[in-house]
Chain A
Amino acid sequence: MKKLVGILTIMVVASLLLTGCPKATPAAAKEVKITLWTKEGEADNALQFVKALCDAYHAQHENVTFEVVNKDVETLREDFQTASLAGMPPDLLWTVNDHAGPFTTADIIQPVDNLFDLSKYVDSAVAAVKLNGKTWGVPIANGNHLMLLYNKDLIAEAPKDTDELFAKGKELASGEQYGLVWNQTEPFWLVPWLGGFGGAVFAEDGKTPTLNTPEMVATLKFLHDMKYDAKIIPPESDYNGADTLFKEGKAAMIINGDWSLGGYKDILGDKLGVAPIPKVTATGQWPKPYTSGVFFMLPKGLSGDKLEVVKDFITFVTNKDNQLEMVRKLTRLPALKEALSDPLIASDPILKGSAEQMTYGTPMPTVVEMRCNWDAMKPEMQAVLADTKTPQDAAAAMQAAAEACIAALE
């Protein structure tokens, strides 16, 4: 009897091996070529990382080859729409979550709920691509959020609240040196504060703009005070200006995103500190930067062999090892729960600071109406910062512009 069991076991194992073999290497089967469009550029080594992943996958599955195409975020959106119109979209997108809005409206990507086990990914990341009850992307990295970075040579500890920020900022601002810098041209830098004052850009329904609110007025007034009362930020500052000032040690603090961590770490080393954006004293609430992160999105018509390969590739990219590799290479927070809880993150002060900030974050809306909100906020925020409009007028103008824009979308 034992012998029989033994023989049977061997036979089962053997048959498993035999049938298993061709399954493990469908290489002999079909050549599949995947065109992947990614928003990752070479500047922060992210494109190299994407290519390395593709090469690693190709090494395991020789029948699969990749064509990695790098396109700037806006270009990627425009070109994907055009390519879909021409009926020749790429096979896979590696892009930001807010593209889900336009792409679902245009009906050119497919939901992924039935293709992947989404429960293994961080909930807030998955939530960032949920629209109309479906999930439209698989998260790769989580974050893309703003946080407070500081130069420990100039300021030992990050301020706890905005009062302290102003007080310390005033001490630090002198001559060519500024207390705080940030990109004053983009409303992406306004939204965290709006959250801190208890406001949000959309009403409960997620698509009606609520820009003319007391919270928005308070936020704009706060930013105006930061510049004209406390005088802790430069009179005019775009991304590159803020970045350069911080790199040159002429700014004690900067509000910037997780994408910039790697670059600052290279220059400042141990002197780089990371903390949440200081709590708003007036409300006692933490500012809420938008979190979004990076996602895989699948074009609408993708099916058959290509879909199978793409599914497998996505699972490969988001496995624990590769997620941790991404943390090491790009200093971004992983989207896989298992990787996020890894000690690698808890032990690194910079990543820990970034992760802490993210807990206060809020997912960036993906609806197409958000584009209108951005465009409505941008000039008005700039006008307040240029001292040419009052916060009240600016907030009213924002709302009017956003409504007009949404009406034109129809």
Chain B
Amino acid sequence: MSAQAKLRQERTAFYRFFHAGRGDSPFKRLLIHLALIFSCVVAVYPVLRVFSVSLRPGNRLLSTSLAIIPDDASLGNYIRLLTEKDFLLWIWNSLVITMATAIIGVILAATSAYAFSRWKFPGRSAGLVFLLTTQMIPAAMLMVPIYIMAARLKLINTYIGLTIAYCVSSVPFSIWILKGYYDTVPIDLEEAAEIDGCSKISSFLRVLLPLSTPALAIVFLFNFMTAWNDFMLARIMLQQEAMLTWTLGLQRLQGQFQTEWGMFAAASILVMVPVMSLFLYSSKWLISGLTLGAVKG
């Protein structure tokens, strides 16, 4: 074998390592798996440590033991959280607000993105730049004016203000994703439907939307996460006990110096469940739906 041919073979092997799945040598595959397993451990380990704290009785945040399941593991923190605290109420409130936000947010973004993708209306590019600029505003600075606005409009202690604020705050990113996705769907399909007698709106509803399921799922996921994880807005908008969301409820477990870390950790694990299940459910769309810009091959 000539040196050049050998070099080429090595290069091809290198290429395969990065680009192809076929024909990798078992050793290479082992390496890839090891790298991925290592990454997964790094990704999951901190969460496992939280889980470990939640199993420790007696409110001990810190321990030099690296065991995930402590020797004296108990579900006491979970039981206390569910029985002594209004945890279920907090979760319920969060869930209700979050679902409303996610549904309304998707509708809001889906329709706007349709306009941005299919029409060159005046102000369109200015609008898209504006969407990007909204992401640049330091969020902490919006809190005081938003509070004052909400107080004057009597929206404190209602879900209206909060839901609208959540929907709107995730709208720029949602529009961006959806527009990116719509752009990859050939317009011919809609035109064909229009020739068959569909109106613009019904071709949108019947042709474009069903084809955009992946992106819609991702936008739903994003809206869900925005509302589910928010603390700052909820903190200024909600005060009544019966209305608290889980982020606010969890904060109550923290005193000025003292914190009930055991229950805090247990709650952290439980609140991850809805988001994780949503991620799992939408994982088949996650890769294809998150289109920030189209690859034109």
Give A contacts to B, CB under 8 Å: 35, 39-44, 46-47, 67-70, 72-73, 75, 79, 82-83, 85-88, 239-241, 244, 247-248, 257, 259-260, 263, 267
Cβ contact within 8 Å between B252 and A42: yes
A-B contact count (CB 8 A): 78
Shortest CB distance A238–B (Å): 10
Cβ contact within 8 Å between A43 and B258: yes
Q: Known: A82-B144, A240-B61. Is A41-B241 also a contact (CB below 8 A)?
A: no
Task: Report the bound CA distance from A73 to B59 in whole Å.
Answer: 22
Cβ contact within 8 Å between B251 and A72: yes
Chain B stretch 208-259: residues in CB contact (< 8 A) with chain A:
235-236, 239-241, 251-259
Cβ contact within 8 Å between A82 and B236: yes
Cβ contact within 8 Å between A73 and B256: yes
Give B contacts to A, CB under 8 Å: 58-63, 85, 143-144, 147-148, 151-152, 156, 235-236, 239-241, 251-261
* 18 contacts across the A-B interface (CB closer than 8 A): A35-B239, A41-B256, A42-B252, A43-B253, A67-B239, A69-B240, A72-B251, A72-B254, A79-B147, A82-B148, A83-B147, A85-B148, A86-B148, A87-B151, A88-B151, A244-B60, A247-B60, A259-B256
Shortest CB distance B44–A (Å): 24
Cβ contact within 8 Å between B252 and A70: yes
Cβ contact within 8 Å between B239 and A69: yes
Task: Report the bound CA distance from A86 to B156 in whole Å.
Answer: 11
| Cβ-defined partner of B257 (8 Å) among A40, A67, A259 | A259
Contacts of B144 in A (CB 8 A): 82, 85
| Cβ-defined partner of B147 (8 Å) among A86, A239, A247, A260 | A86
Please provide the 9 A-B residue pairs with the shortest distance between their CB atoms, ordered closest to farther. A43-B255, A86-B151, A41-B255, A86-B148, A244-B62, A43-B258, A69-B239, A88-B151, A42-B252
Q: Known: A42-B252, A83-B151, A87-B151. Is A259-B62 also a contact (CB below 8 A)?
A: no
Shortest CB distance A76–B (Å): 10
Cβ contact within 8 Å between A72 and B152: no
Contacts of A68 in B (CB 8 A): 241
Task: Report the bound CA distance from A241 to B61 in whole Å.
Answer: 9
Shortest CB distance B83–A (Å): 14
Shortest CB distance A286–B (Å): 23
Task: Report the bound CA distance from A70 to B143 in whole Å.
Answer: 19
